[in-house]
Structure formats: C-alpha cells, structure tokens
C-alpha cells in the first residue's frame, strides 16, 4: 500500500512552524480542506503546541479549539486524526468525527488514555516520548537510540494491549525531535524496521530542528523552519521507498509528489532493504 500523507493542521497560536496561521475555526476549516485537496489522506488536528519549550493548556481550552473544526471537516468527508495527550480531548474529538488518536506521549501523559482508546475502538498512534516540551531536550541521552526506542515503545504497546487496545490498531512513531535534538534522529529513520516491531509506522520529520542542522552542515540556511521543506521532502521519499504507513507533513502537495516518485521507482525495480 502506498504511503499516506497526514497533513498537519495546528489550531494553535504557538506551534513552531505555523502557529497562529489557522487559529480561528473558519481559517482552520479552510486549511483542512486545502490539505485534502493538496493530497492529504488524513488531516491531523492539534490544539496544543508540542514545540520545544511549549507550555501545557487545559483540556477544555484544547477542545474549544479543535472540536468545532473536526466536526465541520468530518461533515465534509475529511478523514481526521486528533493530535492530543488528553484522554478527554481524544474522546470528544472521536465523537465529533475523528477516526485516529495521535498521542505524542504514547499514553504516558494521561493515565486514562489507553482505556479511553480501547473503549473508542479507533486507531492510535503511540509516539516515543520521555518528557514534556519544557524538559524533553534534557532527555536526549542514549547509548543505543534504536534499541532504547524499540524497548520503550514495546513497553507502551504492552500497556496499550493490556488495556484492551487491539494490536492492529496501534501505529508507532519514533518521536523525531522529542528528546532527540539532532543526531539521535537519523538512526531512527535509517533503521525503522529495527524498532517498529511489525506495526505500521508514522514518521513526523516535517521542518524539524534536526533537518535545519543537516542543512546548515552542508552550508545552507536551516535556521528558519520554512527553509526545511526540501529536506522534509527528501525524508518523505526515503520513508515511502521503505514502506512507512504515513508521513506527517506541513506541505501535503510536496509529500504527495515525493510518494508518487517513490512509487515509480518501486515499480521500476527499487527494492527496500
């Protein structure tokens, strides 16, 4: 199956790349429809920034931001995920029309998340996570990042399945940029078959700091997140060639085109490792 495009819709004032651009209901709905038109199979709606250093918000405020957007986009037939660490928001979003819960904490931030997802019966993205945004950079300490991410995600899968979440509903995300500032990210992309444990994989590299560092090492200007789109597309191409379930991106059209190119390469005989 071809890699899916998950388009990012931040209904927030403070996200690192596009905070404030879609932070009204009407603007967010229009952007969600645009993402679908550009090639997003899934629109991922988030109401709380998880950029480095971001503070937390209450579930009620998060729901005020995202639920009207989800309800309206669902009525337009858009496939939706909710980007949240709050079980209450996950439930409200699914009841409003979302079909996937995308939790950057893998259930660690809210003890009720696993049982809530089990009750909802929806797909669940469990991301590798060690700490909230204000502390996560300090947790970038690994002897073997691939093995440690595998082990920590395995613990999350065990907890989720024990709570009643069906194993085939679980998607794994290595948490690029979360407790991984620069170099820790690359082995997780290069060797994702070693940590994915047979689960579907979501890769979220879009415009992140480690891409900016790579651009700078080659003499480019990676300081501005908007300058990282070509690098994002390069990662998308690799992920599509390797068979990732989905990529989470800001620019859905660029990702769609990269996946189309990867598909042609595969048809022509390219073999993933």
Which residues are catalytic, by number?
208, 248
Cα(100)–Cα(80) distance, rounded to whole angstroms? 7
Contact 153, 202 (CB under 8 A): no
**8 SS3 class:** strand
Rounded to whole angstroms, the Cα distance separating 228 from 249 reads: 11
8-state DSSP, 192:
G
Question: How many whole angstroms separate alpha carbon 14 and alpha carbon 47?
Answer: 10
Two structure tokens written together for 49: 């920034």
Q: How is residue 137 annotated by DSSP? A: G
State how far Cα 98 lies from the chain centre: 15
Question: Both tokens of residue 104?
Answer: 């950057």
**Termini Cα distance of the chain:** 17
Contact 131, 170 (CB under 8 A): no
Q: What is the DSSP letter of 54?
A: P
Number of residues that this document lists for the chain: 273
């Amino acid at each position: 199956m071809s890699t899916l495009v998950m388009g990012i819709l931040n209904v927030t004032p403070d996200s690192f790349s596009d905070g404030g651009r879609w932070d009204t209901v009407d603007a967010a709905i229009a952007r969600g429809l645009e993402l679908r038109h550009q090639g997003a199979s899934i629109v991922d709606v988030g109401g709380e920034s998880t950029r480095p250093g971001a503070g937390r918000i209450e579930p009620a405020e998060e729901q005020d931001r995202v639920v009207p957007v989800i309800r309206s986009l669902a009525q337009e037939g858009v496939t939706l995920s909710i980007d949240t660490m709050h079980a209450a928001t996950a439930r409200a979003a699914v009841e409003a029309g979302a079909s996937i819960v995308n939790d950057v904490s893998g259930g660690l931030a809210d003890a009720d998340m696993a049982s809530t997802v089990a009750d909802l019966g929806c797909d669940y993205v469990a991301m590798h996570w060690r700490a909230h945004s204000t502390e996560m950079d300090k947790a970038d300490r690994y002897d073997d990042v691939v093995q440690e991410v595998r082990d920590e995600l395995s613990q999350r899968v065990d907890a989720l399945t024990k709570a009643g979440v069906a194993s085939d509903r679980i998607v794994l995300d290595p948490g690029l940029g979360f407790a991984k500032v620069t170099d820790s990210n690359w082995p997780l992309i290069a060797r994702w078959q070693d940590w994915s444990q047979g689960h579907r994989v979501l890769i979220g590299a879009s415009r992140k700091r480690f891409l900016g560092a790579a651009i700078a090492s080659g003499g480019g200007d990676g300081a501005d997140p908007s300058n990282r789109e070509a690098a994002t597309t390069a990662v998308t191409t690799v992920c599509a060639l390797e068979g990732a379930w989905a990529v989470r991106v800001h620019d859905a059209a660029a990702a769609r085109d990269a996946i189309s190119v990867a598909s042609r390469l595969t048809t022509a005989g390219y073999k993933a490792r």
